[in-house]
């Protein structure tokens, strides 16, 4: 943690680049890191916590082995994203921002994947898919798929 801070300490608005680096290296920002970051950057713990909880890309728990992100922006909603979201939550038994109890899948919502012309769009472990049907999403929800 301290080496990541040292690498970015002189960056303008260092907290965001540091949090991104922590996410890249660890997959999440452990709550135990908050006092360390606050101390290193001369910020309050509340400031650090506020940034982590404000931005949806920062998570405080490890992600599942597979991360599914469903676009909920207007263009995707108009072509069936709400049904995809409902199906995914029901099938996995988790809400957005949660991971299944077995640690297999993390379900997230985003408000634009930049694939508006081919919605509804879904991102699986960083790979973007368009015109996703409920049946295709079912296949994506499988851990081995």
DSSP 35-53: HHHHHHHT--HHHHHHHHH
Task: Count the alpha carbons within 13 Å of 2 in the hemisphere toward its beta carbon.
Answer: 3
Residue 144: pLDDT band (50, 70, 90) is low
Position 145 pLDDT exceeds 70:
no
pTM comes to 0.81
The model's pLDDT over 5-38, given as tens digits with 9 standing for 90+, comes to: 999 988 889 999 999 999 999 999 999 999 999 9
Count the Cβ atoms, other than its own, within 10 Å of residue 87. Answer: 16
Closest CA to 71 of 81, 58, 86: 81
Residues paired with residue 68 on neighbouring β-strands, in sequence order: 107, 124
Encode pLDDT of 102-135 as tens digits: 999 999 999 999 999 999 999 999 999 999 999 9
Q: What is the pLDDT of residues 30-83, one digit of tens each?
A: 999 999 999 999 999 999 999 999 998 899 999 999 999 999 999 999 999 999
């Amino acid at each position: 943690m301290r080496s990541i801070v040292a690498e970015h300490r002189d960056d303008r608005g260092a907290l965001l680049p540091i949090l991104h680096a922590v996410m890249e290296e660890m997959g999440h920002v452990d709550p135990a890191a908050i006092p360390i970051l606050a101390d290193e950057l001369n910020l309050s713990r509340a400031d650090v916590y506020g940034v982590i909880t404000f931005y949806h890309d920062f998570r405080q728990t490890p992600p599942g082995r597979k991360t599914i992100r469903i676009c909920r922006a207007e263009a995707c909603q108009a072509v069936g994203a709400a049904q995809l979201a409902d199906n995914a939550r029901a099938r996995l038994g988790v809400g957005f921002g949660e991971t299944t109890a077995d640690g297999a899948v993390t379900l997230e919502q985003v408000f634009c994947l930049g694939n508006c012309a081919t919605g509804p769009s879904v991102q699986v472990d960083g790979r973007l898919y368009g015109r996703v049907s409920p049946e295709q999403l079912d296949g994506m929800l499988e851990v081995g798929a």
